[in-house]
Amino acid sequence: MASGPGKGIGIHDLSFATTEFVLSHAALAAYNGTEIGKYHLGIGQESMSVPAADEDIVTLAAAAAAPVIARHGSENIRTVVFATESSIDQAKAAGVYVHSLLGLPSAARVVELKQACYGATAGLQFALGLVARDPSQQVLVIASDVSKYELDSPGEATQGAAAVAMLVGADPALVRIEGPSGLFTADVMDFWRPNYRTEALVDGQESIHAYLQAVEGCWKDYSGQGGHALEEFAAFCYHQPFTKMAYKAHRHLLEYCGHDSGKDAIEAALGHTTAYNRVIGNSYTASVYLALAALLDQAEDLSGRPVGFLSYGSGSVAEFFAGQVVPGYRAQLRTAEHRAVIERRRPLDYADYRELHERSFPTDGGGYPTPVQTSGDFRLAALHGHKRIYQRR
CB of 151 to ligand HMG, least distance (A): 13
CB of 32 to ligand HMG, least distance (A): 10
| 202 belongs to the binding site for ligand HMG (CB under 6 A) | yes
Dihedral of CA atoms 364, 365, 369, 370 in degrees, nearest 10, equals 60
Among 35, 75, 301, 355, binds ligand HMG (CB under 6 A): 35
Residue 149 among known ligand-binding residues: yes
Tell me whether residue 43 is exposed, middle or buried, using C-beta atoms within 10 angstroms of its C-beta: 0 to 12, 13 to 18, 19 or more: middle
Residue 244 among known ligand-binding residues: no
Residue nearest to ligand HMG (CB): 42
Tell me whether residue 106 is exposed, middle or buried, using C-beta atoms within 10 angstroms of its C-beta: 0 to 12, 13 to 18, 19 or more: exposed
Among 282, 283, 311, 370, binds ligand HMG (CB under 6 A): 282
Residue 282 among known ligand-binding residues: yes
The continuous run of DSSP H or E covering 252 comes out as helix 243-256
Q: Which stretch binds ligand HMG (CB under 6 A): 4-12, 31-39, 120-128, 293-301?
A: 31-39
CB of 141 to ligand HMG, least distance (A): 17
Q: Which stretch binds ligand HMG (CB under 6 A): 35-43, 128-136, 319-327, 369-377?
A: 35-43
Q: Side-chain half-sphere of 11: how many Cα atoms within 13 Å?
A: 28
| 239 belongs to the binding site for ligand HMG (CB under 6 A) | yes
Among 24, 49, 283, 314, binds ligand HMG (CB under 6 A): 314
Looking at residues 172 to 191 of the shown chain, list those that interact with ligand HMG (rule: CB under 6 A).
190-191
| 1 belongs to the binding site for ligand HMG (CB under 6 A) | no
| 270 belongs to the binding site for ligand HMG (CB under 6 A) | no
| 319 belongs to the binding site for ligand HMG (CB under 6 A) | no
CA-CA-CA-CA torsion sign (212, 148, 119, 336): negative
Mark whether 250 is an active-site residue.
no
Q: Which stretch binds ligand HMG (CB under 6 A): 67-75, 161-169, 307-315, 331-339?
A: 307-315
CA distances from 56 to 90, 102, 170, 246 (A): 15, 16, 31, 27
Identify the CA nearest to 117 among candidates 318, 321, 357. Answer: 318
Render 42-102 in DSSP notation, one character per residue: II---EEEE--TT--HHHHHHHHHHHHHHHH-STTEEEEEEE-SS-S-SSS-HHHHHHHHT
* Residues 102, 391: Cα–Cα separation, whole Å: 11
CB of 308 to ligand HMG, least distance (A): 17
| 169 belongs to the binding site for ligand HMG (CB under 6 A) | no
| 349 belongs to the binding site for ligand HMG (CB under 6 A) | no
Give the three-state DSSP class for 145. Answer: strand
User: Which one from 20, 55, 85, 178 is the annotated catalytic residue?
Assistant: 85
| 155 belongs to the binding site for ligand HMG (CB under 6 A) | yes
Mark whether 239 is an active-site residue.
yes
- Produce one character per residue of 276-309: b if its CB has 16 or more CB atoms within 10 Å, e if not: bbbbbbbbbbbbbbbbbbbbbbebeebeeebbbb
Mark whether 85 is an active-site residue.
yes
* Residue positions forming the annotated binding site: 149, 248, 282
Active site residues: 85, 117, 239
Q: Residues annotated as binding site for (3S)-3-hydroxy-3-methylglutaryl-CoA?
A: 149, 248, 282
